[in-house]
Chain A
């Protein structure tokens, strides 16, 4: 096969790009973990959540989250009319120490655990001016705190309110889906301690993951689906009142 100059000029950059993809398989530090083999999300079962706050405490201890800030938190909803005109939501200290008992038993009430939705088309990564926040090849939205300027743009962009500025480092912070754990084959700290199994780490690329069976057999929804963020935090039993 003869290669003309034109063909060579086309082939060389293509080969360079292809080689980048060959190299782009593994993050340093976790030798047996292939980012291209995974696509992470989470399954949250509202019908199982008891609002004990174990996940919030575990997240804080695992990830050294400063007091008063939350990478994950639990909200208690109280819906008093069915037109969703009168929705009460509280989350005392992120639900870390549980919830005080409600005085009246009017309406329906339930707990909603919240965390970063690890959107496949995340608004927060799109607005970062320096590339300090990004979607990893395995579908986890992460923050590079060495590169973050602390401009807070991502905090405003997240429609789920999942980000905050760490007061110590002055950099944006959020749920990392315990990236340091899942790359070692462990589950996240919140899923590890959840006593009822209301939270389950899900690998959407692993056909053996029970999440596929669950998604197939249940009516599951993501938060704010109309925003088309590609959210990967799937909620079972999600009430229409939940924002």
Chain B
């Protein structure tokens, strides 16, 4: 009986200690895990850009960087601010909705320094044909000409003034 009682007490002790018997391994593992976790967060903090995740799964600062790119085309509102002599002529003609830089090219630099950066004179034979050379791919209602027959080699601006291309409007700017 005593023996039996001793045995049962010992086994009871064993069952309660069994979880902690090799606890030192678990503690080591936990420490290694904790160090790994700390290292991961330190490395992550150093490697991942600060703005990553600001708006979504990307670098938020990229938005500002892309938006900061300088412009080349100033936009017709800026042109019209100074060239108000052209505006009334252009506004009544068929080219009213053709913006300035469509023909004159990018002029953002000219708007910053109008004195020294003067836009080059345009070659109307090339420029007008780009839009108005006849092609059956173009919309039927778009004005088109057979370039070679139409002007027999003369420059377009001999007859048509680009800002208002109607021939009656010749002589105006």
With beta carbons under 8 angstroms apart, the residue of B55, B67, B73, B95 that contacts A137 is B55
Q: B66 to A180, Cβ gap below 8 A? A: yes
With beta carbons under 8 angstroms apart, the residue of A24, A101, A110, A186 that contacts B75 is A186
Q: B55 to A52, Cβ gap below 8 A? A: no
A54 to B100 alpha-carbon distance, docked (Å): 12
A28 to B68 alpha-carbon distance, docked (Å): 9
User: Which residues in chain A, 26-50, are within 8 Å of chain B measured between CB atoms?
Assistant: 27-30, 33, 35, 47-50
Binds A, one of B10-18, B26-34, B132-140: B132-140
Q: Contacts A30-B64, A181-B71, A193-B99 hold; do A23 and B54 have CB atoms under 8 A apart?
A: yes
Q: B71 to A180, Cβ gap below 8 A? A: yes
A147 within 8 A of B: yes
Q: Interface size for chain A: under 10, 10 to 19, 20 to 34, or 35 or more residues?
A: 35 or more
Which residues of B sit under 8 angstroms from A92, Cβ to Cβ? none
B20 within 8 A of A: no
Q: Interface size for chain B: under 10, 10 to 19, 20 to 34, or 35 or more residues?
A: 35 or more
Which residues of A sit under 8 angstroms from B72, Cβ to Cβ? 61-62, 189
Chain B positions within 8 Å of A, measured between CB atoms, are: 49, 52, 54-73, 75-76, 95, 97-99, 101-102, 105-106, 130-131, 133-139, 142
Chain A positions within 8 Å of B, measured between CB atoms, are: 20, 23-24, 27-30, 33, 35, 47-54, 58, 61-63, 76, 78, 97-99, 101-102, 105, 109-111, 131-137, 142, 144, 146-147, 176, 179-181, 183-184, 186-187, 189, 192-197
